[in-house]
Each structure stands twice: as C-alpha cells, then as structure tokens.
Amino acid sequence: MPKGVAASPGIAIGKVYILEKEDFCILEYKIKKEEVEREIKRFREAVEESKRQLEEIKERVSQKIGEKEAYIFHAYLHLLNDPLIIDETVERIKKERLNVEAALRKTYKSFPRKFDIAQTGFIQERFRDVEDVGERVLRNLLRKPALTLSHLDESIIVVAYDLAPSDTVSMQRDKILGFATDIGGRTSHTAIMARALEIPAVVGLRDITKRVKPGSLIILDGNRGRVIVNPTHQQIERYKKKYQEFIDYRKKLVSLKSLPPQTLDGREVELAANIAGQEEVDLAVRNGAEGIGLYRTEYLYMNRRTLPSEEEQLKAYRKVVEKIAPYSVIIRTLDLGGDKFLSHFPVPREINPFMGWRAIRLSLERVDIFKIQLRAILRAAQHNKVKIMYPMISGLEEVKRANAILSQVKRELDEENIPFSKDIEIGIMVEVPSAAIMADLLAKEVDFFSLGTNDLIQYALAVDRVNEKVAHLYQPLHPTILRLVDSIVKSAHREGIWVGACGEMASDPLYMAVLLGLGVDEFSVAPTSLLEIKKVIRGLNWAETREVASKLLKLSTSYEAKRYARQKLAKKIKKILSGD
Ligand code: PEP
Ligand code: MG
C-alpha cells in the first residue's frame, strides 16, 4: 500500500486521472547571425503572452480561491521579469546562437545550480515554480495549448508527479475527488491548495504515477496518508463505510460549533485557531473558532520576490481581524528562519538554522522590516481586538528591545497623525528553554504566554523537529517537557496572566488533555481540529485531568508517562469522540 504524507483530510474512492507532465520534444540547433533578432523577438512575444495568461489566472484564483493562492502567480509574474531567466536566455541566443526553445530550456534547467544554498523542501518547490513558468513560455513558443482539468465528464482522483498551481486553478472543483502526487510535503502548493479547497490529498508518494494506470480504481485516505491501488471488493466496502463515518463524524461535530469549550465540571478554556493566511479564516469561523490564537505572518513574506509593504500587510491583517470579529487575533511577528526561508531574502547559510539568525533575532537586527510590520499591526488593531506575539524569545532583553521599538513606532504613527490602536496586549511564544526557565521574570513583562511546543520540545530535548531519524526521541510527554509546562503555567498564573498552547500538542486530544490538566488556559489548533478538540474538552472532567497531570509530574521517563496517560485518558477520549 503506497504511503505518503497526509496533506489534506478526507477519503476518496474513484478512478485515476493521470495528469502527465508533458515532456516537450525540443530540438537544439544553431541559428544564423541574421536569425538572432528574430528568435529574441519570438521569445519576448512568448513571455508577454505568458504574462497575459498568468495575470488572468491570478485574477481568477484570487476570486475563486483566495488572495494567498493568487500570490503564487504574483511570484510567477516576477519570474518573467527576472534577469536570471530573461536576460540569460537572450544571452544564450546571442552568444551560443541557440534556437530560442533550447536556450530557454537550458536556462531554467540550470537555475538550481545558481543557488549556493541548502536545497530545503521549500527551495526545491520554488525551483519547480521556475520550471512551471519556463514550460508555460515554451508552450507559447510551440503554440501548444496548456494542460487542463477543465473539461471532465466524470469525477476523478488526480494523480500527478506534482500539481502546479496553474493545474489546480483550471480544474472543476466538483469533479475532483482527491489528489495523489509523487512529491511534496505539507507545505507544498498541492497540500496548501487541497486544504484550502477541502479536497482530500496524499502527497510525497514517490512513484504513484508509475504504479497506477489511467482509469483504474484507487482509494485515497487523506487522514492517514495512504493510497490503495486496485482495491478488493472488501477494501472498497470498508472504505465506503469509513467515508460515510468520516462524513457523519464531521456533520456531528458541526453541531458543537456554537457550544462553549467547557469541561463537564465547568472549567471553560479558550479555543482558537492557528492560521497561516487570511484564506484560512473562513474555515476557522466555519469550525467555530473563538479567535485566532496564532497568525503565522511569515507566509505573507514567502512565495514572492519583494517584501510586503505596510499597506499590503495592513490589508491582509485587517481582513483577518474583521472576519474573526468580535473575537481577537494574535498576530505573531515574523518567524523566518529554521525551515522557513525566503528565496529573495539573503539569509546566510548556517549549519544550525534552527538555532541561528531567525525570528525575533532577525527582527531586532532588521529593524526596518520589523517596524513596517509593527506599523501594519497597530493600524489593523483599530478595527478590532489584536494582540502582538513575539516568536523565539530567549530572555528579557529581547522583550524589552522589541517593546522599545514598538513604543517608537507608536510615537512615529502619532507624529504622522496615522490612526492606530494604543492599547495592545503583548505576549510571547514560550518555545526556547531559557524563556521557559525564567518564565517568572518574563511573566512580569508581558500580558500572556503561548507555548510553542513544536520548538520547545525540539530545543529542550535537543531533537530536530524535521529530522525523521530522531523522530522517536521527540517525546511531548518527556518529564522535562511536563516540568517546564508546569512551571511556566504556575509562573504565569502567579503574575495573573494567561497561558495558551499553539504548538501541535494542542491539536492532539491526548496531549491536549494533559495540558488542560497542567492548567493551560487557551488552546490554538488547526482549523480542521477545532471541533474535535472541543468535543474532547466537553467530555472531560478538569479535576480528573489535573489528577492525571500531577501523577505524570512524578514519573521519571517518557515511556512511563505515555503509558500512564494512555491508561488513564486514551480510552476515555476514544469514547468521547465516538459518542454523540
Ligand atoms: C511552535 O513552535 O510550537 C509553534 C507553534 O510555532 P512554529 O510551528 O511556527 O514554529
Ligand atoms: Mg515555533
């Protein structure tokens, strides 16, 4: 059974439609000197035609799907002005006397070699963008129509090496049951698009395009990241049942939408959503989010060639703020670095990027970039409740410096007579062990804490969060993590401030129950996990989770802690989730 990455939840059973990546047959030949100008002219015309097409697609995407997805095309359009592609192709035609098709293909195929940077998943994906753009120009040169998914007679599961954003745009949403691709991770375009469109998807299946035939039947399980090729009758029946259960389960969960996230014995917590862009807000609202607990703004800076302006950021933040009103939005300032890079922003190559020049460190050095973001946030805060959260805080100095810059920005806005919100709460991500250990002092300086468990576990246990080789050591219930969370919560409460959890631990019912028992006041989870987590909260007794948590704090290994938590809570949670 091919196994990949569960990129978008849901189950699909249907016929395969293979979206082949066309391999153009390109002839390479030398042209005569007098043909050079003609070839360059053909190239420029094809580039202009490609720009027109991309503008049109961009417009369609921003209306049909969302502005964030449209940004990808914005980036594509920039590539069509990039000297690394345009001037270099022209140079090849002139100097090497190559025909335009061959010159263009050579240029975009050699693109990766021009970067002296680690080829992370993110950067590899951007290289595919270059290829996608290059092929569009090539198609226009050859006068070949673009591949399209717009005239489908029946519902299908799209199987492809990868899906370019332009493929997903032209398709008929109601005919697409699911996506299965050879490559990609959770941050690939296919995954992002699939989640935004709520289409089940499994990516990173390696060779799924070779394992299936057009028209054959497959089952795609977007919850578990599996694909079954040519399933048996029994498997089909089993998955039909699972599909129905999934649909019924979702429907049942929707009935919880307007109920409070309150335990059986009356402990009410806040339940908010994590988002990476404005297009996820609708999904969060549909799933009953009472606020945005983490707005990862770095995505606004990615997939493009220039930094976003103050006005552009203001527009994006304002949309989120207005859509989620009357609830609040916690806007996290830029958390670049680690595994999140910008192709246009020169971050030096580092051996340990997760411990390098990133997040608040970068903002405190590039005050120009930081100030623009703070101005946009303060201005957006006029329209409803907004809180600011600094990422990767490791000590008091950073909070003080960031706050000093914030005060300066407020003064500047005042002087310029630009309206903004003066009373804005400030919080920090507690995700670096040094901050966790000195939470008592930090709690005096800020209005709230949010536990970034993804990084806190990585740093406290020295386990790289993206390295599969050490994944077994990544233990959320490690005694160190439990002790740290316990002491952070106590320090915060002593100073009268609240503690949230926005790392993945909050989206896992068992771990969330432990955090609840440790006294966490707010949970911020992926929009699609909101109702499930709410259901669990509503089925638990706070007193019971507190008892479990205090026992867990006395255990000495992750193994014991996991076993104990499972023994005490797992069965109960399963029952809560399967009940009405
Ligand atoms: C975290 O570290 O837990 C977190 C929520 O932030 P990110 O995953 O964006 O680093
Ligand atoms: Mg983090």
Domain boundaries defined on the chain:
5-20+148-230, 33-142, 263-578
Residue 287: its pLDDT value, please? 92
Instruction: Write the DSSP assignment of 166-192 as a string of letters.
Output: HHHHHS-GGGEEEEEESS--TTSHHHH
- 345 vs 480: which has the higher pLDDT: 480
> Per-residue confidence at 117, pLDDT binned at 50, 70, 90?
very low
Question: Mapping DSSP to helix (H, G, I), strand (E, B) and coil, where does residue 308 land?
Answer: coil
Ligand showing the shortest atom-to-Cα distance for residue 526 = 1
CA of 454 to the centre of ligand 2 (A): 6
CA–CA dist 302, 338 (Å, integer): 14
Residue 558: its pLDDT value, please? 97
Least confident of 318-327, 336-345, 476-485: 336-345
Left if phi > 0, otherwise alpha if psi is -120 to 50, otherwise beta: which for 424?
beta
Q: Specify which residues 160 forms β-bridges with.
A: 19, 181
Task: Note if 344 is an active site residue.
Answer: no
Residue 310: its pLDDT value, please? 97
Residue percentage of the chain with pLDDT more than 90: 60
Q: Does 343 score more than 80 pLDDT?
A: no
**Burial status of residue 29 (CB atoms within 10 A of its CB: 0-12, 13-18, 19 or more):** exposed
Residue 172: its pLDDT value, please? 74
Residue 445: its pLDDT value, please? 98
Contact (Cβ atoms closer than 8 angstroms) between residue 359 and residue 334: yes
Instruction: Estimate to the nearest angstrom the gap between the alpha carbon of 362 and the chain centroid.
Output: 21
Residue 20: its pLDDT value, please? 75
Ligand showing the shortest atom-to-Cα distance for residue 507 = 1
Residue 184: its pLDDT value, please? 75
Q: Which of 42-51, 247-256, 487-496 has the highest mean pLDDT?
A: 487-496
CA of 47 to the centre of ligand 1 (A): 40
Ligand 1 binding pocket includes 335 (Cβ within 6 Å): yes
Ligand 1 binding pocket includes 431 (Cβ within 6 Å): yes
Instruction: Write the DSSP assignment of 480-511 as a string of letters.
Output: HHHHHHHHHHHHHHHTT-EEEE-SGGGGSHHH
Pocket test for ligand 1, best of 330, 429, 508 (most atoms within 8 A of CB): 429
For residue 295, give the nearest of 394, 101, 427, 199 by alpha carbon: 427
Ligand 1 binding pocket includes 524 (Cβ within 6 Å): no
Amino acid at position 459, single letter: Y
For residue 222, give the nearest of 280, 188, 177, 168 by alpha carbon: 177
Question: Mapping DSSP to helix (H, G, I), strand (E, B) and coil, where does residue 159 land?
Answer: strand
**Longest Cα separation, the chain:** 86
CA–CA dist 578, 160 (Å, integer): 35
Residue 120: its pLDDT value, please? 46
Instruction: Estimate to the nearest angstrom the gap between the alpha carbon of 372 and the chain centroid.
Output: 23
Distances (CA, A) of 532 to 28, 82, 193, 252: 57, 46, 23, 10
Tens digit of pLDDT for each residue in 62-85? Answer: 776 777 677 778 888 888 888 888
Residue 23: its pLDDT value, please? 62
Q: Residue 539's CB: how many other CB atoms inside 10 A?
A: 17
Tens digit of pLDDT for each residue in 278-331? Answer: 878 988 999 999 999 999 998 788 766 688 999 999 999 999 999 999 999 999
Ligand 1 binding pocket includes 296 (Cβ within 6 Å): yes
Question: Mapping DSSP to helix (H, G, I), strand (E, B) and coil, where does residue 392 land?
Answer: coil
- 130 vs 99: which has the higher pLDDT: 99
Q: Does 542 score more than 50 pLDDT?
A: yes
The fold adopted by the segment(s) 33-142 is: Enzyme I; Chain A, domain 2 (1.10.274)
- 42 vs 170: which has the higher pLDDT: 42
Q: Give nearest CA residue, ligand 1 atom 3.
A: 452
* Side-chain-facing half-sphere of 410: CA atoms under 13 Å: 13
Q: State the virtual CA torsion across 541, 547, 549, 550 in degrees, nearest 10.
A: 160
User: The whole model's pTM is what?
Assistant: 0.73
Dihedrals phi, psi of 195, to nearest 5 degrees = -65, -40
33-142 and 263-578, same CATH topology: no
Tens digit of pLDDT for each residue in 89-112? Answer: 999 999 999 999 999 988 888 866
Q: Residue 27's CB: how many other CB atoms inside 10 A?
A: 7
- 493 vs 251: which has the higher pLDDT: 493
Ligand 1 binding pocket includes 453 (Cβ within 6 Å): yes
* CATH for the 263-578 domain, from 3.40.50.880, 3.40.50.300, 3.20.20.60, 3.40.640.10: 3.20.20.60
Q: Specify which residues 295 forms β-bridges with.
A: 275, 331
Ligand 1 binding pocket includes 9 (Cβ within 6 Å): no
Q: Give nearest CA residue, ligand 1 atom 4.
A: 452
Question: 138: Cβ–Cβ under 8 A, 6 or more apart, which residues?
Answer: 24, 26, 46, 101, 104, 105
Mean pLDDT of 50-60: 85
Ligand 1 binding pocket includes 502 (Cβ within 6 Å): yes
CATH number of 5-20+148-230: 3.50.30.10
Residue 476: its pLDDT value, please? 95
Instruction: Estimate to the nearest angstrom the gap between the alpha carbon of 38 and the chain centroid.
Output: 45
Q: Give nearest CA residue, ligand 1 atom 9.
A: 296
Residue 113: its pLDDT value, please? 55
Q: Does 114 score more than 80 pLDDT?
A: no
Residue percentage of the chain with pLDDT more than 70: 90
Residue 334: its pLDDT value, please? 95
Ligand 1 binding pocket includes 88 (Cβ within 6 Å): no
Question: Mapping DSSP to helix (H, G, I), strand (E, B) and coil, where does residue 15 land?
Answer: strand
Residue 278: its pLDDT value, please? 81
Residue 337: its pLDDT value, please? 78
Q: State the virtual CA torsion across 109, 114, 119, 123 in degrees, nearest 10.
A: -70
Contact (Cβ atoms closer than 8 angstroms) between residue 497 and residue 449: yes
Pocket test for ligand 1, best of 451, 474, 502, 524 (most atoms within 8 A of CB): 502
CA of 359 to the centre of ligand 1 (A): 11
Residue 226: its pLDDT value, please? 93
Task: Note if 25 is an active site residue.
Answer: no
Tens digit of pLDDT for each residue in 366-408? Answer: 999 999 999 999 999 999 999 999 999 999 999 999 999 999 9
